[in-house]
A and B are shown apart, each in its own frame.
Chain A
Amino acid sequence: EPEVTQTPSHQVTQMGQEVILRCVPISNHLYFYWYRQILGQKVEFLVSFYNNEISEKSEIFDDQFSVERPDGSNFTLKIRSTKLEDSAMYFCASRPRSGTSYNEQFFGPGTRLTVL
């Protein structure tokens, strides 16, 4: 069964450094999302992406964040200058445009980002 994959599984970085988190959505999906979960807290929406542009973003998704679909398979989240409070698990999700799973988002295994 197709799955969303994410790399790396764990990223450690110094405060102020740029990080890029990578996701490979399921191949026939057209809607893409990033969520994050700070340790011990609930999962929070960051951004949704469709047709090569952001369709919705939360207040968390400030100018330090950007998303890109650089080719036909990858979907990336960039944090330009990481802060300590960016430490979290980041989940990518994708969703098909049609079919029986139309309303469902499929989540990847997550990337744990640790900012020191």
Chain B
Amino acid sequence: AQSVSQHNHHVILSEAASLELGCNYSYGGTVNLFWYVQYPGQHLQLLLKYFSGDPLVKGIKGFEAEFIKSKFSFNLRKPSVQWSDTAEYFCAVNAHSSASKIIFGSGTRLSIRP
């Protein structure tokens, strides 16, 4: 069965610290990978996506993620976080080149200390 694992439930960092949020997926085929962010009280926003090509993907607000196929991973990184990055982050996957459902991870709550 398809699944997404986010190992960090809650991450607390100080401003300017570097961030890496882990994401591993289980799926027996070619996938699309996504990171979504949900700011407090707001809806889902797409941070970045990987469909094919360069495994290092750059998104909005200085975020990037690297797809490592051999590890079934798609970790999210940011070199220097800001207080405004406080939010819930969801890794997600669906089957490539199809209209299939998106499977979301359980989310990582990121709290940034000012």
- Interface residue SS majority, chain A: strand
Say yes or no: B104 contacts A44, CB within 8 Å: yes
**Contact size class for A?**
20 to 34
Give A contacts to B, CB under 8 Å: 31, 33, 35, 41-45, 48, 50, 55-56, 58, 91, 93, 95, 102-105, 107-110
Question: Beta-carbon contacts of B48-81 to A below 8 Å, as 1s and 0s?
Answer: 0101000000000000000000000000000000
Shortest Cβ gap from A96 to chain B (Å): 10
Given A103-B97, A107-B43; 16 other pairs, CB 8 A cutoff: A33-B102, A35-B102, A43-B92, A43-B104, A44-B104, A45-B103, A58-B101, A93-B102, A102-B97, A104-B49, A105-B94, A107-B44, A107-B46, A109-B42, A110-B43, A110-B44
Alpha-carbon distance A50/B98, docked complex (angstroms) = 12
Checking B44, B49, B51, B96 against A43 with a beta-carbon cut-off of 8 angstroms, the contacting residue is B44
Chain B residues numbered 19-61 whose CB sits less than 8 Å from any CB in chain A:
32, 36, 42-44, 46, 49, 51
